[in-house]
Structure 1
Amino acid sequence: MNAIHTAAVMHDVTTELLQAWPLPMPGVGGDKEERGHVLVLGGSREMPGAVILAATAALRAGAGKLTVATGASVAQLVALAMPEARVIGLAETEAGGFQLDAIARLDPLADRVDAVLIGPGMQDEAAAAELVHGLLGRLQGSDTVVVLDACAMGTLLHAPQGWDPGKAFRFEQPVIVTPHCGEMAHLTGTPKPEIVAAPDARAADAAVKWNAVVALKGARTVIAAPDGEMWQHEGGNVGLAISGSGDTPAGIIAGLAARGADLAQATCWGVALHARAGERLAARLGVLGYLAREIPDEIPALLESIAGHGAGTGRSVEQA
């Protein structure tokens, strides 16, 4: 693990870096298909808002089409809150997850979506893992980007049927995972204080072991790719430490991936946009008290600002 960390070059996610790494843009005459189709799979009876937050963030990040798959008990509520989306209601388990027949319900979408976000607002980790493994099998060999957040990251702890019980689970194709330090402790069995003390090494090690782009979130977020490349982003404020805030960066990342950004690019941009949205809200409303639902509204202007300001200085209006 230390060898991985010391060998890696750590890139700072600054405005200058983002400007040198521009996001894919649709043509002047491009339609919503060219902007990408994102599927957000999540929500539950107790947390229907999480999937709404993530889905809104995906659209604000520029995705052109949105499908939301959520529990049948809350599907109508989500549809009313998200008139832009197609909403699919899925049968639920007693523990608040989705039954396995959800794979068959979603199968027709598998060849039509560019990015899939799984996890916001989901409950029943074991059921979520079974569903993720089924969907990964269906998407095998495709170009669809998979983003795992919240409960769906527990897939790493529940290997699929037929997996060698003596081997730790590893994704066949790279995915994006977005744990904070507490979730990383749950996924690795490493005490949280040890992760907080050495996040670079922990993220780098996990990226290689899991075959995933790992965004280990915090005041300083560390992003690690399976090939050993690493990035760090410092920014945002304590106001982002609020209920629902974690659903928004996952949605932003999925929206950017649907537009055609690769896994590392979507993750770096998504982390930066989320932090800077918090900075803009704090400047306008105060550091404490702004809401997670307000974060996505800042994203379109930030995308324009990063692209159009601070060239050659590494600073945008938000960093000044």
Structure 2
Amino acid sequence: METPSSSTYSVDATALRAWPLPMPSGDGDKEARGHVLILGGSREMPGAVILAATAALRAGAGKLTIATGASVAQLVALALPEARVIGLAETDQGGFTEAAVGKLDPLADKVNAILIGPGMQDEEATAVLVRALLPRLDGSDVSVVLDACAMGIVLDESFRFSVPVILTPHAGEMAHLTGATKEAVSAAPDEHAAQAARDWNAVVVLKGARTVIIAPAGERWQHEGGNVGLGTSGSGDTLAGIIAGLAARGAALPQAACWGVALHARAGEELAERFGVLGYLAREIPEHIPALMESFARP
């Protein structure tokens, strides 16, 4: 799908049908569908990593590994019997110690995508961990998605990703990361997302009623849809998980982001039809994803 930097492409059903997701062959096994690693969770928020990991599997990833705090690893393993769960040493503030890098390093050559951030609370420790992990992934084919406090690595003004990654901020998070006000970001999302994409060398998914997706070279997409019910606790974790699952299957970063945003929004629309606009739960979003992928793929 060619996207000149001077144009903004709308992400709708027609566009998605023209941009099909990678599909394994009929005799492909779970390895062919991709291995996703979800790094996140904490004592106070183990559910976030469960939501993200469930969404990654619903998006079609074949293998799942979760790395989370040792204090909640058994709980997470019981909630997700499909996953391998690794317990990591924790900081008092809800992050992971630098010792986590040693436990994760052997996975660098075995996974296709990694999502870092859901449910992590110690922004400083998370930035240290991400900074230590990224060089191990450079030069590999691993797609990296950063969500929640893992995006805090860009607070260092001199920081720039050597290889593009996906970042998934909402307006408030973008304000925190850039020093702008939330009102300024909301008033000019394209401008702020484009500047961040260039400065950070990242595919920026600036979430909102109109979500803007901008790649480092300036390619732009937008999605309008969903409803206010998606603004609920855990919804962002599910979106990040969907994107990571699609990337694990082999979707390029912009494609994984665009498809993920569209699937997440349409799932919210279906849930609103079932329950009403307010009151459906983030945990209910992933179950809609497989059928929606099939629906978007059909002419």
Equivalence map 1:1-320=2 (5 Å): 8-158=6-156, 168-308=158-298, 311=299
Residues 171-197 of structure 1, C-alpha deviations (whole Å, 9 max, x = no match): 000000000000000000001111111
Read off the aligned partner of 1:8 and give its amino acid letter. S
C-alpha distance in 2 between matches for 1:214 and 1:238: 21
Contact persistence 2:5–2:219 (CA under 8 A): no
Separation of aligned partners in 1, 2:158 and 2:41: 28
Pair 1:205–1:98, CA change in 2 (3 A)? same
SS of residue in 2 equivalent to 1:18: helix
Between the aligned partners of 1:39 and 1:268, the Cα distance in structure 2 is 20
Aligned length: 296
TM-score after normalising by structure 2: 0.98
Q: CA deviation digits over 1:2-53, x for unaligned, max 9?
A: xxxx963100001111000000000000000000000000000000000000
TM-fit CA distance, 1:72: 0.3
Q: Is the 8 A contact 2:5 2:220 kept in 1?
A: no
Distance in structure 2 (CA, Å) of the matches to 1:214 and 1:168: 18
**Contact 2:8–2:222 under 8 Å retained in 1:** yes
**Secondary structure class of the residue paired with 2:150:** helix
Secondary structure of 2:95's match? coil
CA distance in 2, matches of 1:230, 1:307: 22
Tell me the alpha carbon deviations over residues 44-69 of structure 1, each in whole angstroms, 9 at most, x when there is no partner: 00000000000000000000000000
Aligned mates of 1:275, 1:230 — CA distance in 2: 18
Q: TM-score, normalised by structure 1?
A: 0.91
Q: 1-side partners of 2:99 and 2:135: how far apart?
A: 14
Deviation of the 1:284 alpha carbon = 1.1
Amino acid at match of 1:51: V
Unaligned stretches of 5+ in structure 1?
1-5, 159-166, 312-320
Paired position in structure 2 for 1:162: none
The structure that has the greater radius of gyration is 1
CA distance in 1, matches of 2:184, 2:276: 33
| Aligned AA (1:255) | G
In 1, the alpha carbon distance for the partners of 2:47 and 2:108 equals: 24
* Structural RMSD (CA): 1.0
How much identity, in percent, do the aligned residues show? 74
Q: Give me the whole-angstrom Cα distance separating, in 2, the residues matched to 1:108 and 1:178.
A: 26
